[in-house]
Copies of this chain bind each other. A is one copy, B any other.
Amino acid sequence: MQEEIILELYERTLERDYVFKGKVINVRRDTAQLPNGKAADREVIEHTGGVTIAALTDNDELLFVRQFRYPIGEVLMELPAGKLKAGEDPLTAAARELLEETGAVARNFYDLGWIYTSSGDTTERLYIYAADGLTFIGQRLDEDEFLDVLRVPLTEAVRHSAAGGYGDAKTDIAILRFDAQRRIGMLEPIRF
């Protein structure tokens, strides 16, 4: 049944053409065959994916970073996040970004799943974690990375996220999933 539906919706690649190869993204313009047999252009952004992490202090505060986002020309409040390095395990990347950006190491990690950020346009998949049992051992920012670290009480962050105050997809999903999983009693630390 599931297979039948997939076949009936499936688009087959007829041609694959790289129009840009960059440091962070590649862009293709493919020709795809639609379920009705017709051909259509498909613009595809290839992205290595990333991670984000909702890190909770012993005082029930979430760690945020405030940074300038060049494409939109704005400073956003976001959870710590970063791109996956080639072949890097997502949880390792999340722990690495948490340490680099906020100086925190965590005793416990929680798997909050992942999202496609915009599946009609990009291959980007973003893995989401939570963490607690934090110890602070000092930020390790990249040479060209500029950000401020802030703490926001969890209840305030959940309310702000529900109201649409952050405007950042990964931040909202991580906070709302973390809160929902806690309330439902779904949250279990990852066992190593």
Interface set of A (CB-CB < 8 Å, partner B)? 5-6, 8-11, 19-20, 22-25, 27, 29-30, 32, 34-36, 38, 40-45, 47, 66-72, 74-76, 78, 112-126, 128, 144, 146-148, 158-159, 161-165, 167-170, 172-173, 176-177, 179-181, 184, 186
Q: Report how far A24 CA is from B29 CA in the complex, Å.
A: 11
Given the interface pairs A43-B22, A45-B71, A144-B34, the reply to whether A177 lies near B159 with Cβ below 8 Å is: no
Q: Report how far A11 CA is from B75 CA in the complex, Å.
A: 10
Pick the contact of A5 from B75, B164, B167 — CB < 8 Å? Answer: B75
Given the interface pairs A25-B43, A117-B117, the reply to whether A5 lies near B172 with Cβ below 8 Å is: no
Minimum C-beta distance from A29 to chain B (A): 7
Minimum C-beta distance from A151 to chain B (A): 16
Q: Report how far A188 CA is from B162 CA in the complex, Å.
A: 14
Q: Which 8 A-B residue pairings sit nearest by Cβ, starting from the closest?
A: A113-B164, A162-B180, A176-B176, A69-B119, A9-B68, A115-B169, A117-B118, A44-B71
Contact between chains at B44 and A120 (CB < 8 Å): no
Q: Report how far A112 CA is from B161 CA in the complex, Å.
A: 10
Chain B residues lying within 8 Å of A184, measured Cβ to Cβ, are: 159, 162
Most chain B C-beta atoms within 10 Å of own C-beta, residue among A112, A172, A181, A184: A172
